Chains A and B, each alone.
Chain A
Amino acid sequence: MYRPDLTAAADSPQRKATGAHQPLEDHSAGRSGSRCSRAKDNCGGRLEPAGDILEAGFLLKEAGSLVVKSLETFLNAIEQSGVSETIKEGAGQLKSHLLTDDRIEWIRRRLEGDFSVDEWGMDEDIIEFLRPFFLFLYRKYWRVSVSGIENVPSSGRALLVANHSGVLPYDGAMVLTAIQEEHPHPRFVRCLHLSLFSRMPFLNPLMAKLGQVQALPENGERLLNQDQLVCVFPEGVKGIGKLFRDRYRLARFGRGGFASLALKTHSPIIPVSIVGAEEIHPHVKNFKPLASLLKLPYFPLTPTFPFLGPLGLIPMPTKWFIHFDQPISVKDLKFETREEPLLISRISSEVKQVIQANIDRLLDERNGVF
């Protein structure tokens, strides 16, 4: 509340204090630029007991550089001490590898909040940070082999429609990595994920930072109107939580939401078939009591999870195949409003057939699961 009555206690000293100040000035932009220097001037040395509790915040900022500095001192000490040559060499290498100027600058930027995210919350720094992990999965662990990458357009909007499997959504990450690695014009793919993941702690911010967006018609429409590449998994939770005995049999394709999205935004549909992801976590049984207790749609029991604890979360090193089929254009379709529901169900079943046919072909061609 801002009623202009001075409290009796605060009256006289405050007047006296403000009387010594410079006259009124219009507060507008421009002062924010001097924030850092002001902060640093203020940070020197002692902590005020009462008013300047805020200084603790500056200390936190300094803590990062302190860690870097102490690590550097430690490695320097090892190098100069009289231990064996190999340890010295190792310390020197570790120092030159860990403490590059770029990395120190990166840590400083992150700690000062000097980075930006796009309007969907995508954080390029985090993606760059996690890229080696996804590249390892892509190249070494699952040895993904990709075909038909030329069917993905280099520019403009397109809707990738893929089968979903594997208990945890690794398939989206692999489609993303495939286009970043194999495509002549690498593009970023926005995978639309289940609303289940945006409800879960830790997964919600991680998904947003990796540029993934919750699967809602409004989000899809906005992304496609921004001429982005969008990947959807119409099977949804029925696909990802599929039992092992049902593998490679497509579940119901939602309610045809992706087809109406493509019609609305005039985006070509590219059917994507993923083979290999079904076996990474063989979902033997759905343990329903625990699922309903944890408010999850399924609680998977696999040969390794939860019996081996966190080790059970390591996926199987299967061999993956991803095939991008030819785009199905819906741009030039002429139809009346009354025909739209029929058209949507027709497009939906056609895409489903294409994906299923490609899966069957890839399954015939592959030699064993690993």
Chain B
Amino acid sequence: MPLPKRSILITGASTPWGRKLASILEDDPQFDPIIGIDFAEPEIPFKRLRFFRLAPPHPLIAECIRTAQIDTVCHMLFLDTYRYNEDVFQLNVMGTMDLLAACVAGQVERVILVSDSKVYGADYTHPNFISEETVLNGSFTHQYLNDRLEIERIVKNFAVRHRRPRIAVLRVANVLCRSVDTPVGRYFDSAVVPTVLGYDPLLQFTHETDLLGAVARTAASDIDGIVNISGEGVLPLSQVLRIGRKIPLPLPDPFMHAGSRLLKSARVLESTPLEIGFLKYNCLGDSTRMKTDLGFVPAFDSRKTVEDFFAYRNARRSRRNLAGYPLDPIALWELQGWLKARPHVVRDTMNQIREFNIELEQHHVSS
């Protein structure tokens, strides 16, 4: 018996994750009209997806949803910034609100949102494994987490008032991947990583392929509500740093902010950790519901994710290995964003590239 056709809309189809999700869904014939929207044109053309250049506050989205009779919306559009930015807030939070409004008007069956399991907040009063029903009462200074939390609150209020669309929220544990510069990835960037003296929290990690696999799985199933997504197993922070060959720099809790700022200005660190709670206490999501209700088994466990990430990052940053390492064009976009935020890295990289080119020319001349 053929599966019923589902018409699906992906927001943020030009973002690395949206692009990869699109190619997963394109391979599945049950998703028939696949429509993608984003405010930027995609770099690589799509196989089956119809792309429209629209961003969430645009009134045409509701029109598009109604005309194409969309029944599932995957909201992948979320921007992450290094410092507070009102435009990004507008796009992340207000954009989600506008999209939900468009979905109600367009009689969408289900909306799939990606969130972060860090919205639970790290606190010593939490159980080791936090279940989906836990009330979110954290408060954050980091805009990434603030926006995520704000969206979660909007979704909660929305679900009280509207029975349709049903909303599936995937709370994904720390994502480490090659194509997108995530907050956790940024924390592990420098050779020296600040930690809090006397604490060693346990961390869960999710690989990018598992994140996208879980979203695709949710789209194909009929699940709603909140699901924690995470790779199997946990790692202490100290072990992650050893796997990544990083030097831990334990700072006492009260000097954490000042110390890491000082080190950043001395260019030992590339970014300062903003949420110290996550470096002290565990924030682990209970992924039972992912296994039972969603029936999803991640391909990467936490340890493999970390090893894969560091193998890539360490290779990318080492000049001698760069020549033999294939580059991912999607990763290149991200690399550019990453470089822009770090002027001194750009300078170093430019020097490296110049030297590399000279070597390359010499090589051609000699051979």
CA distance A248 to B192 in the complex (A): 51
Is B236 within 8 A of A112, CB to CB?
no
Closest to A205 in B: B200
Binds A, one of B59-67, B110-118, B149-157, B323-331: B323-331
Given contacts A1-B79, A57-B191, A201-B253, contact A10 B240 (CB under 8 A): no
Closest to B242 in A: A113
Given contacts A9-B346, A219-B127, contact A29 B303 (CB under 8 A): no
Task: Chain B residues near A199: list those with CB within 8 A.
Answer: 124
Task: Chain A residues near B243: list those with CB within 8 A.
Answer: 112-113
Instruction: Judge if A290 is at the interface, Cβ distance under 8 Å.
Output: no
CA distance A7 to B341 in the complex (A): 12
Binds B, one of A45-53, A127-135, A272-280, A334-342: A45-53
Proximity bits, A185-210, B CB within 8 Å = 1, else 0? 00000000001001111101100110
Is A38 within 8 A of B334, CB to CB?
no
CA distance A24 to B346 in the complex (A): 23
Tell me the smallest distance from the CB of B303 to a CB of chain A, in Å.
7
Task: Chain B residues near A10: list those with CB within 8 A.
Answer: 336, 339, 346, 349-350
CA distance A110 to B236 in the complex (A): 13
CA distance A35 to B311 in the complex (A): 6
Is B318 within 8 A of A52, CB to CB?
yes
Is B246 within 8 A of A57, CB to CB?
yes
The number of residue pairs between A and B whose CB atoms lie closer than 8 Å in the complex comes to 194
CA distance A4 to B19 in the complex (A): 13
Is A201 within 8 A of B354, CB to CB?
no
Instruction: Judge if B43 is at the interface, Cβ distance under 8 Å.
Output: yes
CA distance A113 to B191 in the complex (A): 16
Instruction: Judge if B40 is at the interface, Cβ distance under 8 Å.
Output: yes
Count of chain A residues with Cβ under 8 Å from any Cβ of B? 69
Instruction: Judge if A67 is at the interface, Cβ distance under 8 Å.
Output: no
CA distance A50 to B352 in the complex (A): 9
Is B328 within 8 A of A24, CB to CB?
yes
Given contacts A2-B15, A24-B326, A120-B128, contact A13 B353 (CB under 8 A): yes
Instruction: Judge if A54 is at the interface, Cβ distance under 8 Å.
Output: yes
Tell me the smallest distance from the CB of A209 to a CB of chain B, in Å.
8
Is A18 within 8 A of B327, CB to CB?
yes
Instruction: Judge if B198 is at the interface, Cβ distance under 8 Å.
Output: yes
**B353: contacting residue among A17, A116, A117, A209, CB under 8 A:** A17
Tell me the smallest distance from the CB of A199 to a CB of chain B, in Å.
5
Proximity bits, A273-305, B CB within 8 Å = 1, else 0? 000000000000000000000000000000000
Instruction: Judge if B360 is at the interface, Cβ distance under 8 Å.
Output: yes
Is B191 within 8 A of A2, CB to CB?
no
CA distance A93 to B244 in the complex (A): 37
Is B337 within 8 A of A2, CB to CB?
yes
Task: Chain B residues near A18: list those with CB within 8 A.
Answer: 327, 332
Instruction: Judge if A361 is at the interface, Cβ distance under 8 Å.
Output: no
Proximity bits, B9-22, A CB within 8 Å = 1, else 0? 00000111000000
**A60: contacting residue among B198, B200, B245, B299, CB under 8 A:** B245
Is A119 within 8 A of B327, CB to CB?
no
Tell me the smallest distance from the CB of B10 to a CB of chain A, in Å.
16
Task: Chain B residues near A216: list those with CB within 8 A.
Answer: 125, 127-128
**A198: contacting residue among B124, B242, B247, B356, CB under 8 A:** B124
Instruction: Judge if A20 is at the interface, Cβ distance under 8 Å.
Output: yes
Given contacts A42-B321, A51-B348, A208-B202, contact A222 B236 (CB under 8 A): no
Instruction: Judge if B187 is at the interface, Cβ distance under 8 Å.
Output: no
Task: Chain A residues near B235: list those with CB within 8 A.
Answer: 117
Instruction: Judge if A136 is at the interface, Cβ distance under 8 Å.
Output: no
Task: Chain A residues near B329: list those with CB within 8 A.
Answer: 24
Is B199 within 8 A of A17, CB to CB?
no
21 pairs from A and B in contact (CB 8 Å cutoff)? A3-B40, A7-B340, A13-B350, A13-B357, A16-B357, A21-B325, A23-B326, A35-B310, A38-B311, A51-B318, A52-B319, A54-B191, A57-B191, A121-B234, A123-B236, A200-B198, A205-B200, A209-B236, A216-B128, A219-B128, A222-B127
Besides A17-B357, A18-B327, A199-B124, 7 more A-B contacts (Cβ < 8 Å) are A7-B336, A9-B346, A13-B350, A13-B357, A14-B353, A21-B326, A201-B197
* Closest CB pairs A-B (n = 10): A201-B198, A113-B242, A57-B245, A218-B127, A205-B200, A32-B307, A113-B243, A1-B337, A202-B198, A25-B326
